[in-house]
Amino acid sequence: MKKKSGYNVAVVGVGAVGVEMLRVLKQHKFPLKELRVFARSARDICVDGKTYRVDKINADGFNGMDFALFAGTEGDKGAAVTYAPEAVKRGAVVIDNGADFRLRKDVPLVVPEVNGEDARKHKGIIANPNCSTIQMVAAIAPIHRKVKIKRIIAVTYQAASGAGRGAIKQLWDETGFIHAKKSLEEAWQSPLQCKYKAQEAAFPHQIAFNLLAQIGGFRDDGYTSEEWKMVAETHKIFHDKKIRISATCVRVPVLNAHSEALYLETQKPVSAAAVRAILGKAKGVVVIDEPAAGRYPMPVSACGKDEVFVGRIRNDPFVKNGLWLWVVSDNLRKGAASNAVQIAEYLINEHMTYRAKR
């Protein structure tokens, strides 16, 4: 695959992330020659007024494809586990948004602005990190390069969209149900009895006007799988297992865009002003840090954008080399679809291909 005027791309999955992949390919003006869209069943879908034909997924559908973007159904029977090897066999570079390949030693885990060079080492498959990991490392990597980070404490405030369309619907429907059935005083003084049956709910508890201190399953050590992803994936991306990382991940009643409060302890001292200057020059990062004027990153202003927004930058007055950041990003875009497309764009621009290394 030499650099050429157009590339054949397959998008697998048409859930929230798959639809966003189609949107990003169009908005980025990706040099498409042919686009194929696959899912479990054939149908037409409409995205921003454009109709896309969705074909039932099959191995031969990847014939002639340069890239295969998997939106993220996971597990032993997930699309990437089942079809990624078939796509690679047929010459495609697979970029997978799911968790199945992220920690495999032979699969690069890539955020282009942070460790794009790792994409060159691929053997056919490249993994997208978890959404919460992507925005964190994008924000802190420029700092790490300058003063080295030795400790991270992360608290995330993750939107419903991170759990898919069903989760978005649950938040929306519960909110509407409360508004329709209760006055403000009634809703304030008594909890909503969720109308969903357990098997239909995306979340185990009410999400509207509530917080859930659980994303993923609980491990034996009390941490959730989401929290441990942030540890293991950051170590892999930074190629540094000495960084001490601890996280608490919380689901919040926000439709889209994740927020994170990040506490960093650096090896060398660095002022908040210096951090603003460092991040102000960082690719893919936007600093919004004028708290006195009420300007700081918010989910409502991050939606639909590819950048990672950083604000509330301040030193810890009680801990030497301690630093706080507030980080917000659209989890469906930079946290998933945009990052995957940017990996493909990086490979095109770097002239790095699977066939060239075989």
Q: Does residue 244 share a domain with residue 108?
A: no
Looking up residue 149, the CATH number of its domain turns out to be: 3.30.360.10
Q: Does residue 319 share a domain with residue 274?
A: yes
Output the pLDDT for position 67.
98
Q: Does residue 60 share a domain with residue 14?
A: yes
Output the pLDDT for position 3.
74
Q: Does residue 118 share a domain with residue 58?
A: yes
Q: Which of 144, 194, 249, 258 is catalytic?
A: 258
Q: Does residue 270 share a domain with residue 138?
A: yes
Q: Does residue 345 share a domain with residue 326?
A: no
Q: Does residue 123 share a domain with residue 20?
A: yes
* 32-39/50-56 β-pairing: parallel
Cα–Cα nearest to 343, from 140, 101, 148, 144: 101
What distances in angstroms separate CA 92 from CA 88, 243, 313, 326, one per listed residue? 5, 35, 42, 38
Q: Would you put residue 91 in left (φ > 0), alpha (ψ -120 to 50) or beta?
A: left
Report residue 116 as tokens.
Answer: 């794009």
Q: Which of 122, 131, 249, 303 is catalytic?
A: 131
Whether 177 is in a domain gets the answer: no
Q: How far apart are CA 239 and CA 126, in angstroms?
A: 16
Q: Does residue 277 share a domain with residue 145?
A: yes
Task: Report the DSSP beta bridge partners of residue 51.
Answer: 46
Whether 154 is in a domain gets the answer: yes
Whether 255 is in a domain gets the answer: yes
Q: Does residue 66 share a domain with residue 149?
A: no
Whether 138 is in a domain gets the answer: yes
Whether 180 is in a domain gets the answer: no
258 catalytic? Reply is yes
Q: Give 136-195 pLDDT, tens digit per residue.
A: 999 999 999 999 999 999 999 999 999 999 999 999 999 998 888 888 888 888 766 666
Output the pLDDT for position 88.
98
Output the pLDDT for position 350.
80
Looking up residue 14, the CATH number of its domain turns out to be: 3.40.50.720
Q: Give 46-75 pLDDT, tens digit per residue.
A: 999 999 999 999 999 999 999 999 997 767
Output the pLDDT for position 2.
66
- Structure-derived torsion over alpha carbons of residues 122, 125, 131, 132, reported in degrees to the nearest 10: -50
Q: List the alpha helices (DSSP H) in the chain.
A: 16-27, 79-89, 112-115, 131-147, 165-181, 184-189, 225-238, 272-280, 299-302, 338-350, 354-357
Mean pLDDT of 79-103: 97
Output the pLDDT for position 1.
52
Q: Would you put residue 290 in left (φ > 0), alpha (ψ -120 to 50) or beta?
A: beta
Q: Is the pLDDT confidence value at 77 over 90?
A: no
Whether 182 is in a domain gets the answer: no
Whether 38 is in a domain gets the answer: yes
CA count, 13 A, side-chain hemisphere, 75: 2
Output the pLDDT for position 196.
58
CB 92 within 8 A of CB 66: yes
In three state form, how does the secondary structure of 262-301 look?
EEEEECCCCCHHHHHHHHHCCCCEEECCEHHHCECCCHHH
CB 311 within 8 A of CB 287: yes
Q: Does residue 107 share a domain with residue 27?
A: yes
H/E element, 251: strand 244-251
249 catalytic? Reply is no
Mean pLDDT of 334-340: 98
Q: Would you put residue 231 in left (φ > 0), alpha (ψ -120 to 50) or beta?
A: alpha
CB 260 within 8 A of CB 157: yes
Whether 184 is in a domain gets the answer: no
Cα–Cα nearest to 13, from 41, 33, 32, 48: 41
Q: Which domain holds residue 226?
A: 133-163+204-331
Number of domains into which the chain is organized: 2
Q: Does residue 154 share a domain with residue 276?
A: yes
Mean pLDDT of 259-286: 98
Q: Does residue 219 share a domain with residue 75?
A: no
Task: Report the DSSP beta bridge partners of residue 157.
Answer: 250, 259
CB 279 within 8 A of CB 142: yes
DSSP label at residue 340 = H
The pLDDT > 70 percentage for the chain reads: 93
